[in-house]
Amino acid sequence: MNSVEALLREDLRDFGGYRSARSENVEGSIWLNANESAWSSVADPPGVLRRYPSPQPESLRAKFSALYAVDETSLLIGRGSDEGIDLLVRAFCAPGQGSIVVAPPVFGMYAVSARLHGVRVVDVPLVDGDEGLRIDADAMAKVALAAGASLVFLCSPGNPSGEALSHEAIEKLARRLAGRAIVVVDEAYIEYADSPSSIALLAAHDNLAVLRTLSKAHALAAARIGCVIASPAMITALRRCQAPYPVPQPCAERARAALTPAALSRTRDDVARACGERARMSTALAELASVRRVYPSQANFLLVRFVDTDVSLARLLAAGIVVRDMRGLPQLGDALRISIGTSQDNDRVLLILAAADREAA
Ligand SMILES: *Cc1c(COP(=O)(O)O)cnc(C)c1O
């Protein structure tokens, strides 16, 4: 038994998952094995949607393999990182038992997937200091070991903290939890960060999994395409827990189009633009009298504490500007999260908040 199998849910160790008609690797010219219609839909005259899609579209896998510089056997394509999170919870936590460790305030899907699976969520809060909202990796390791947690979720750059974790911190955690728990690094915003992806750490740590997505920097949120990148043994285990045809054909098509050299070059330009706007917004917001604190950010949003959050939020809303109210999250009773928009969008945010400052003065 390899170390991934040892961490896998005991009741799933001999589980093969669903065997779809597409699982069998055979050649043929007349396909009558999947009960698909013999005729195409009015909605799809060329009939490209008539057949079930490939469970893991080969050409898309090849493109992801090149983009993330990993072997195809280390990749699982799914419906956004959300599906990756859910698969990890379902594969590694026994339902109704076990626990995961998260560092709130953080992206809510880790806790949602755990709760739906009957798994306990153990919180190790972020620590608010001069440098921003930071994880306490040492406390996370201790708590995970004490609770016997199966998974520890890290978010780097953090949503909403904006903090990018160092490779040293991630590796230290992975080493301390080796053979005991899996460390998941959610890199939904890594394209906007100065630091490199933790994919490079996978070779040395078989209890590490990295989540990547096309939803943010690649501007394909509605296509619902994301990847889990991990050891081949972990990918095989997750694949057995996944739905038979998780990647809709039209979505795979758009994803492929987003990964051509020309598209990737455009994405890099747009990311650079977003980072430039982030720096400009961060400085300008910090100068406003109504702003208490702007957190450093390695992502495409800014976490901002306001003096009177009700008033600032109402001003923005009255101007048709919708930002994320973070006040329901622990430690963020006065905070809003503002995504980086186009320079016109951002100008508008600054204009409205500056006008409110002048009126209050
Ligand atoms: C937006 C976001 C995601 C993206 O989820 P998808 O399912 O890939 O759209 C994942 N993790 C975090 C922290 C996010 O903020």
CA 134 to CA 174: how far, in whole Å? 18
> Counting atoms of ligand 1 from 1, which one is nearest the CA of 215?
9
Strands 324-325 and 151-155: unpaired
pLDDT at residue 15 greater than cutoff 90: no
Residue 191's φ and ψ, nearest 5 degrees, are -60, -25
H/E stretch holding 283 reads: helix 261-286
Ligand 1 close to Cβ of residue 318 (< 6 A) = no
pTM: 0.97
pLDDT of residue 1: 66
Query: Of all protein residues, whose CA lies closest to atom 11 belonging to ligand 1?
Result: 188
How many angstroms separate the Cα of 8 from the Cα of each of 11, 186, 227, 233? Answer: 8, 20, 19, 10
List pLDDT tens digits, range 163-221: 999 999 999 999 999 999 999 999 999 999 999 999 999 999 999 999 999 999 999 99
pLDDT of residue 179: 96
List pLDDT tens digits, range 95-107: 999 999 999 999 9
pLDDT at residue 26 greater than cutoff 70: yes
Ligand 1 close to Cβ of residue 155 (< 6 A) = yes
Query: Of all protein residues, whose CA lies closest to atom 5 belonging to ligand 1?
Result: 81
Query: Of all protein residues, whose CA lies closest to atom 14 belonging to ligand 1?
Result: 188
Q: Long-range CB contacts (< 8 A, 24+ apart) of 107-113?
A: 107/155, 107/159, 107/186, 107/188, 109/81, 109/82, 109/85, 110/85, 110/153, 113/85, 113/86, 113/89
Ligand 1 close to Cβ of residue 286 (< 6 A) = no
Computed over every residue of the chain, the mean pLDDT equals: 96
List pLDDT tens digits, range 255-294: 999 999 999 999 999 999 999 999 999 999 999 999 999 9
